[in-house]
Amino acid sequence: QRLYENHKVLTYPRTDSRYLTADVMGTIKERLQAINAGVYREFAAPLIRRELPKKPAFVNDAKVSDHHAIIPTEQAPNYIHMSNEERKIYDMVVRRFLAVMYPAYEYEESVLTGAVEGEHFYARGTRPLHMGWKAIYENQSEDEEEEELKRQNLPVMQKGQEFSISNIRLTEGKTKPPARFTEGTLIAAMENPVRYMESSNKEMAKTLGETGGLGTVATRADIIEKLFSGFLLEKKGEDIYTTAKARQLLELVPEDLRKPELTAEWEMKLSKIAEGKLSDRKFMNEIRTYSTDLVKQIKTAEGTFRHDNMTNKLCPNCGKRLLAVNGKNSRMLVCQDRECGYRQTIAKTTNARCPQCHKRMELIGSGENASFVCKCGYKERLSKFQERRKKEGAGVSKRDVQNYLKKQQKEAKQETGSNAMLDALKNIKL
């Protein structure tokens, strides 16, 4: 958002389209000129000199709804004013922008099949012929193990050739379960939830793919944030876990609400409304009936919800027992009565690093009793921490650094402007 709004170097960011419209093609050369510097020069310069195809694969008006894909603008970037995160995101967009205009990656692949006592063994190796678009990402390797397998060189062999086996090694291992979601992988799963569908309905899968999955670009992060604030999700490191509250709710709610098929079904009906094949009134009546039946089903269900995180501490507002919960970056005590809404922060994860293990520390307590605590066992009073940081010269923010650089640039311009030679030349009339 800042790269679009403040730096003016990227186009509108809230889009899920991966295509450009035909009218943008006329501005491609100017955008390439804007990024034709530094590490991008060797990739942008050939494209500037070359004539671009009239109908490239990445241009498709039919696949752009509100906004086209995110690409660089005609504004040349000023990296001095960008944060580290902004530079990384800008780099991702520029490299993808360049890659789609480069030719295919070409390679030669060899596959060997060997038979030993009725058992079949396979080996595969590749040899690059033309790097194409991969040259732009050559320093950004994929899965190392997979890359190593692809890079192995296989000897030249003939079909039917036989060898004697000198030794055999048997290895044992365990398959890894799927990794837990992080915020990034969860958003990606929401964008493409087809693999989580229980049915094999191809029309529903196609609809979810065309409509952008669950939520929109602008709402997915907010949906996840609400799940955290409602204490249905919690973080342990970067990994996301469901809370006991969430697991109970998933058992209690009707099955339809847990499936992406419901979103697909509604999106299909909305598409029919847009095409004039279905009445919007009929659809809304179906939604009202469905919602009413859903509420009745929940009310009459036999399941009951029980808090398993109840504490003996009482709410100072309503007197009910408080619940111990883990927020996104803090541990809290909250009132079980949502209408009361009382919350008390017990500990908060900070950006302060432990001097022993360098992990992020928790700030426990408040006022004079506030202390930093690390998982490794290190403890330090807030007052002592502030004194130590002051001695170490902390307190200089990114904004301070940027202001200092601006000041230096301003002074440099003033010095140049006061040059006697320039003043003399300025007064000459030709």
Catalogue the active-site residues.
Answer: 12
Q: Could you tell me the maximum CA-CA distance found in the chain, to the nearest angstrom?
A: 97
The DSSP-derived string for 260-329 is: HHHHHHHHHHHHHHHTTSS-HHHHHHHHHHHHHHHHHHHHH-S-----S-EEEEEPTTT-PEEEEEE-SS
Report the DSSP beta bridge partners of residue 234.
Answer: 241
The DSSP-derived string for 223-250 is: HHHHHHHTTSEEEETTEEEE-HHHHHHH
Terminal C-alpha separation, the chain: 49
Query: Dihedral (C-alpha) 305, 306, 311, 317: value to the nearest 10 degrees?
Result: 40
Helix axis angle for 220-229 and 183-191, nearest 10°, is: 130
Residue with tokens 């003033």: 414
Nearest to residue 277, comparing CAs of 285, 269, 267?
269
- φ and ψ of 172, to 5 deg: -120, 150
Six token digits for residue 74: 């005609």
Q: Are 109 and 124 in contact (CB under 8 A)?
A: yes
Burial classification of residue 349, based on how many CB atoms lie within 10 Å of its CB (0-12 exposed, 13-18 middle, 19 or more buried): middle
